[in-house]
Structure 1
Amino acid sequence: MSESRAVIFGCAGPELSPAEAAFFADTRPWGFILFGRNIVSLNQVAELTNSLRESIGRPDAPVLIDQEGGRVQRFKPPLVPQYPSGADLGALYNANPEAGLRATWIMSRLHAFDLYPLGINVDCLPVLDVPSPGGHEVIGSRAYGITPDVVSVLGAAACEGLKAGGLLPVIKHIPGHGRAGADTHHELPHVDASRSELSGRDFVPFKALAGEAMAMSAHVVFTDIDPANPATTSRRVVDEVIRGEIGFDGLLMSDDVSMNALSGDFATRASAIFAGGCDVTLHCNGDRAEMDAVVSVTPTLSGESLRRANAVMAAFKAPDKSDEAALRDEFEGLMAAS
């Protein structure tokens, strides 16, 4: 573990090329992330995750995916069911809190049934962002609700369902993306709400789930805290808000370094992410030239970042003994009743 670099990489396609395997063996990323381009069949994905881990000689290395349900679901039918969105679960909770909590836990447990046998052990879920009027639809229906209390309780249920199935969650997008008026894939949003407003709403779900092992940062500028830098690269936001006020002491990973909310070349972006206080940077698209630039400035995990990475590895547990067929039937019944 002490040899791992503080980066999570994607790969280009459904199979690992010899050049990619050699690159990963040389650069030793801490983990990997999969996207739709990497998915053809269940057996193929299992072979890919095995190849990724073999390339770095770590059979337990984290392999991540964004499998939320709704419009962000990398595995799609017919390989897995189309799952409801966070907003669908929130609507059920508003009508019947007990049913909504149960359905949210079950859906995460079903994600784990889908993913764990394929060698995927981290799901970038739950979305803890609280949408506000004027916020961009990039969050929208991915959110569980429009109040921090609903987002907090359903986010907690989602985390517990994943962990029951042998996966770890990633709470995102810390310290909150719900007010952002732009899609960070394309541009950098500025949020002008006061820190006290943010503390009373946006930060609340992250405080509630601050004990989770991993979090993903928001590429959002909070002008009342740091008008010059997005949270991902802001030492003030990371130290004062994420580590301080929110109290998150887990592994902090950046959102994708290739998103256009960030500026500069890829070495500049990655350097800023580490200077801001993130433990690990994330590069998703598998582009070799970009990865070369990122890894040129990426340190090996050490100090507090290594401690947090080791805590992640220690947090993985074996799946519980839940009955998959029974849970699928129960889930269908809960969602049909909604």
Structure 2
Amino acid sequence: MIGALMLDIAGTELTQEDIELLQAPQVGGMILFGRNIESPEQVRALTDHMRQVRPDILIAVDQEGGRVQRLKNGFTLLPAMGRFGELYLTEPEKAAELAEQCGWLMAAEVLAAGIDFSFAPVLDLNDVSDVIGDRSFAKNMQDIIPLASAFLKGMKRAGMASTGKHFPGHGSVKADSHVAAAVDSRPYDEIYQKDMQSFIQLMPQLDALMPAHVIYDQVDPNPAGFSAHWIQNILRQELKFDGVLFSDDLSMQAACVAGGADARIQAALNAGCDMGLVCNSRESACAALAGIADFPMPNQQRLERMRGCIPQRSIGAALELGDEWAQTRDRILDFKHQYSA
């Protein structure tokens, strides 16, 4: 059974405390950060050990490209998605082709390391948000949708499930929800027409969504990830989305409006999220775990869709994943060097 809490570890291998936490029924996922990464071989050994302890665990990472990628040493340093948007203005077909190849390359490397999925792609607009910026494909939905669609096709071709973030859109909010409360006071119609369209149009390709830690105060007083209105009324009922809903990291400052870690994960799950992330604080993770000990287990069929097609073979200190991988990596790196700002 897959539990409703995703947490993290401090180092590059499991401690006894990590092992005991992994065995708790309500732990369902692990997310890796840069501090957990030394080499492809070490990451695969770590993820294999996690599965020995807990065979049904889901393992995730943020491997978007650009400034948000945790797997670096021994892995391809991918371009920011905004580079594809820049190329799309003059060569749309080439940009979409490269985005598809980049999605495949990212997914193939992440899966080879024993990780089920990356929380990608970002579907927000590149508008006023400094924390989004060139993590977004483009400044408007007309460019985001074809590029993100291509990237999603590449991920799927490699055998990886996708997570669109940050619904209904973080790009039009200046505040960084990692360190401050973020409030968007626009009316629902404007959010729907401007920010939500990339999510709505791509829903048939998406396996999961991550709601934003943003309060859209003209719609609901709670951040989207704690809002039954956003999750149940809008996403599930109106938009008919049946994929997984992951909370954004419940340790972020914008999530603190719900109270302590136990109250935050309770709020997220009660609103309709399938799994809550509590990162970078073991104390908070333990409090969250205790806070949902009596909660029902999440929808297993839904969460099982996130399991990646992980190759059986182990990997060495340097990646070597075959001819298609080598050719795709070289093409993406050439593009990155040619078009990087």
**Shared fold by TM > 0.5?**
yes
Equivalent position of 1:324 in the other structure:
325
Tell me by how many angstroms 1:57 deviates.
Answer: 3.0
SS in 1 for 2:11: coil
Paired positions, count: 325
CA distance in 1, matches of 2:300, 2:323: 33
CA distance in 2, matches of 1:232, 1:292: 21
Equivalent position of 1:166 in the other structure:
159
Equivalent position of 2:279 in the other structure:
284
SS in 2 for 1:284: coil
Q: Indicate conservation of the 8 Å contact 2:75/2:109, yes or no.
A: yes
Shift in alpha-carbon separation, 1:38–1:195, aligned structure 2, 3 A: same
CA distance in 1, matches of 2:35, 2:283: 18
Q: Name which of 114, 124, 129 aligns with 1:136.
A: 129
Q: Indicate conservation of the 8 Å contact 2:33/2:70, yes or no.
A: yes
Equivalent position of 1:157 in the other structure:
150
Task: State the one-letter code of the partner of 1:326.
Answer: Q
Q: Indicate conservation of the 8 Å contact 2:121/2:165, yes or no.
A: yes
Task: State the one-letter code of the partner of 2:155.
Answer: L
Tell me by how many angstroms 1:171 deviates.
Answer: 0.8
1:214 aligns with 2:214: no
1:65 aligns with 2:50: no
Give the % identical residues: 32
Residue by residue over 1:278-303, the C-alpha shift from the partner in whole angstroms, topping out at 9 and shown as x without a partner, is: 11101122x3321111111223424x
Structure 2, unaligned stretches of length 5 or more?
312-320
Task: State the one-letter code of the partner of 1:294.
Answer: A
CA distance in 1, matches of 2:323, 2:296: 38
Task: State the one-letter code of the partner of 1:166.
Answer: G
CA distance in 2, matches of 1:83, 1:180: 26
Shift in alpha-carbon separation, 1:295–1:216, aligned structure 2, 3 A: same
Task: State the one-letter code of the partner of 2:20.
Answer: A
TM-score w.r.t. the length of structure 1 is: 0.90
Q: Indicate conservation of the 8 Å contact 1:175/1:203, yes or no.
A: yes
Tell me by how many angstroms 1:333 deviates.
Answer: 4.7
Q: Name which of 28, 31, 47 aligns with 1:30.
A: 28
SS in 2 for 1:31: strand
SS in 2 for 1:215: strand
Q: Indicate conservation of the 8 Å contact 1:87/1:142, yes or no.
A: yes
CA distance in 2, matches of 1:246, 1:322: 41
Tell me by how many angstroms 1:229 deviates.
Answer: 0.5
SS in 1 for 2:273: coil
Q: Name which of 63, 86, 98 aligns with 1:91.
A: 86
Structure 1, unaligned stretches of length 5 or more?
none
1:122 aligns with 2:117: yes
TM-score w.r.t. the length of structure 2 is: 0.89
SS in 2 for 1:5: coil
Equivalent position of 1:182 in the other structure:
175
1:187-266 matches, cutoff 5 A? 187-211=180-204, 212-226=206-220, 228-263=221-256, 264-266=259-261
- Indicate the RMSD between aligned Cα atoms, in angstroms: 2.0
Q: Indicate conservation of the 8 Å contact 2:121/2:164, yes or no.
A: yes
Tell me by how many angstroms 1:244 deviates.
Answer: 3.5
Task: State the one-letter code of the partner of 2:67.
Answer: R
